[in-house]
């Protein structure tokens, strides 16, 4: 009979032997991953890529060391098409495409992207190990490191293709792109194209939008980055109950950028207002010395926040059609500007007035189908409920004062003093109409296009408001300063498009002179795009606008919260 001690020794020995065999049979062990020759390294890299991807597919993209491949299904598809051979490296060396991809990641901001989204923080240490290994041993011969780097570069390349072509924002009700998902074959074709050129930058550039606005914005990024600082400024809270804290933070923020000489001794209101004016002048916003909501938003916009605005704006361009019409009207709400684009050039440029934050102008796509001279204004239900009804409840004479008529279902005028307004809280059984004339809110020209919001482009009887910097002032429609240039261009364009030798321009001039209401239907409808971009590329770099409706703030918090 064997002694307990002998049994223990035999069992222990067997366990050690099994452990030794297991360790030596495991293909991804540290020692087993070290290759003796470049050819052996290449074979090991292939085996590791195959086994790691098998595991990652079962673990939602996680590699054994917890590195996450965000596009693991397509990564596996790519390697499967190559028999799991490496794509970016070969036999202890980076291929030109590998160097090009790593350089692209480092300079991803030039495409409105964030380098950290493409494994930069994991790839850089690996490359440093390879290049610092002067003896050509150890890490440079480690197949696991080469395999991991190759898979991360592939994952980054696939993600970058999607981000460059489609963007990172979800498809919404105004997205006009037809392709919201890229096919597997599309990705495989991009790998084939890269094999032919080895230039990742060239390939990515071919996937970008061709619109003038996008290209102008991208062109200004390098200059913006060169001048951007990493300094974080004091956040100024919204003006509220704690005015002492607000004033303290405001003074410190103005001091940090040199608009005031001290932050240790409280300054008086006059000094603070003067410093605010200097800031407003520099930023090109309304100069009134008051730190209102818009000024505070601008004070809190650091260079980091500006770059996120750039990234969001570039993604918004990717939601437009790949090919824009040859002629179209473009309205950018935060920029308070309208442009008539012809063959990608600005034919007409005009200041505009858009909706207040409470009665915001919607983003939309439509086409101008009709012009109306000396139009009537029929306020939409939202304005009747929020403004007109409360006013007539206090004083029925409000309607006459504003030039409104009250009409019943038969079109007959009703005396507002005869109506019991207290019985209505929302809708009313009457039409409110402001007659045509120089005092009409729509001015003397209206541009009609189909939309569910009852908004349009038009002239205004308050033309002095175009002199203001902040022109978020309307009930939702877009008031156009250069309405006359736009109207007569549309008329000429319609005549040319229809092959007519005569233009209706002379007739319209006559109707305007006689102050007559007339409707002119356009056979050639002009596309109109009303959009929301808080920054744009100009000949002088990138211009930033106030986030008047808070749209970019919402997108930043929802989709770029970690940036």
Residues tagged active-site? 458, 477
DSSP 39-100: HHHHHHHHHHHHHHHHHHHHTTTB-TT--B-TTHHHHHHHHHHTTT--SSEETTEE-HHHHH
From first CA to last CA, the distance across the chain in angstroms is: 71
Residues 6+ apart with CB under 8 A from 201: 100, 103, 104
Residues 6+ apart with CB under 8 A from 336: 351, 352, 353, 354, 471, 472, 545
Distance CA 417, CA 396 (A): 6
Residue with tokens 């990742």: 200
3-state class (DSSP) for residue 11: helix
Chain centre to alpha carbon of residue 242: 34
Give the angle subtended at the CA of 285 by the CAs of 281 and 288, to the nearest 5°. Answer: 75
- What stretch of H or E contains 449? strand 445-449
φ and ψ of 259, to 5 deg: -90, -10
DSSP state of 320: S
φ and ψ of 104, to 5 deg: -60, -45
**Half-sphere exposure at residue 347, Cβ-oriented, CA atoms within 13 angstroms:** 17
Give the pairing of strands 89-90 and 535-538: unpaired
Instruction: Cite the DSSP H helix spans in 412-550.
Output: 483-498, 505-513
Burial of 240 (0-12, 13-18, 19+ CB in 10 A): exposed
Residues 6+ apart with CB under 8 A from 509: none
Distance CA 556, CA 171 (A): 16
Q: Which runs of E-coded beta strand occur in 153-296?
A: none
């Amino acid at each position: 009979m064997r002694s307990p001690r002998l049994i223990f020794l035999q069992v222990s020995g067997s366990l050690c032997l099994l452990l030794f065999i297991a360790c030596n049979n495991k293909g991804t062990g540290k020692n087993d991953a070290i290759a003796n020759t470049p050819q052996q390294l290449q074979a090991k890299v292939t085996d590791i890529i195959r086994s790691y991807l098998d595991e990652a597919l079962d673990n939602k993209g996680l590699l054994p060391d917890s590195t996450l491949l965000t596009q693991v299904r397509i990564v596996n598809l790519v390697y499967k098409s190559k028999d799991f051979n490496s794509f970016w490296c070969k036999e202890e060396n980076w291929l030109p495409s590998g160097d090009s991809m790593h350089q692209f990641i480092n300079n991803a901001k030039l495409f409105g992207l964030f380098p950290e989204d493409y494994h930069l923080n994991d790839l850089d240490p690996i490359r440093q190990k390879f290049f610092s290994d002067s003896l050509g041993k150890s890490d440079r011969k480690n197949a696991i490191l080469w395999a991991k780097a190759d898979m991360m570069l592939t994952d980054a390349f696939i993600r970058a293709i999607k981000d460059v072509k489609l963007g990172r924002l979800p498809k919404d009700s105004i997205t006009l792109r037809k392709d919201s998902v890229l096919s597997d074959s599309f990705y495989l074709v991009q790998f084939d194209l890269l094999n032919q050129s080895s230039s990742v930058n060239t390939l990515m550039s071919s996937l970008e939008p061709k619109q003038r606005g996008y290209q102008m914005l991208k062109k200004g990024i390098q200059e913006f980055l060169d001048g951007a600082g990493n300094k974080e400024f004091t956040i100024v809270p919204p003006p509220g109950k704690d005015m002492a804290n607000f004033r303290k933070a405001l003074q410190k923020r103005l001091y940090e950028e040199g608009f005031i000489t001290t932050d240790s001794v409280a300054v008086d209101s006059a000094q603070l207002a003067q410093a605010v004016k200097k800031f407003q002048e520099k930023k090109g916003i309304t100069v009134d010395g008051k730190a209102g909501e818009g000024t505070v938003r601008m004070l809190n916009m650091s260079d980091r926040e500006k770059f996120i605005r750039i990234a969001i704006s570039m993604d918004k361009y990717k939601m437009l059609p790949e090919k824009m019409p040859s002629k179209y009207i473009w309205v950018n709400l935060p920029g308070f500007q309208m442009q008539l684009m012809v063959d990608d050039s600005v034919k007409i440029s005009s200041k505009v007035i858009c909706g207040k934050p409470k009665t915001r102008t919607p983003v939309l796509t439509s086409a101008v189908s009709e012009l109306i001279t000396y139009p009537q204004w029929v306020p939409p239900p939202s304005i009747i409920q929020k403004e007109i009804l409360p006013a007539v409840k206090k004083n029925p004479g409000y309607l006459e004062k504003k030039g409104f008529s009250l009409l019943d279902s038969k079109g007959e005028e009703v005396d507002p003093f005869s109506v019991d307004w207290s019985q209505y809280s929302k809708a009313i059984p009457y039409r409110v109409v402001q007659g045509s004339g120089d005092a009409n809110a729509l001015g003397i020209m209206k541009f009609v296009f189909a939309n569910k919001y009852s908004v349009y482009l038009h002239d205004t009887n308050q033309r002095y408001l175009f002199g203001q910097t902040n022109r978020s002032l309307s009930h939702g429609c877009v008031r156009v300063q250069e309405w006359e240039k736009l109207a007569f261009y549309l008329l000429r364009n319609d005549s040319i498009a229809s092959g007519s030798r005569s233009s209706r321009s002379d007739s319209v001039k006559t109707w305007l002179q006689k102050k007559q209401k007339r409707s002119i239907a356009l056979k050639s409808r002009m596309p109109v795009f009303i959009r929301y971009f808080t920054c744009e590329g100009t000949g002088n770099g990138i211009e930033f606008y106030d986030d008047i409706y808070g749209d970019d703030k919402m997108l930043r918090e929802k989709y770029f919260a970690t940036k």
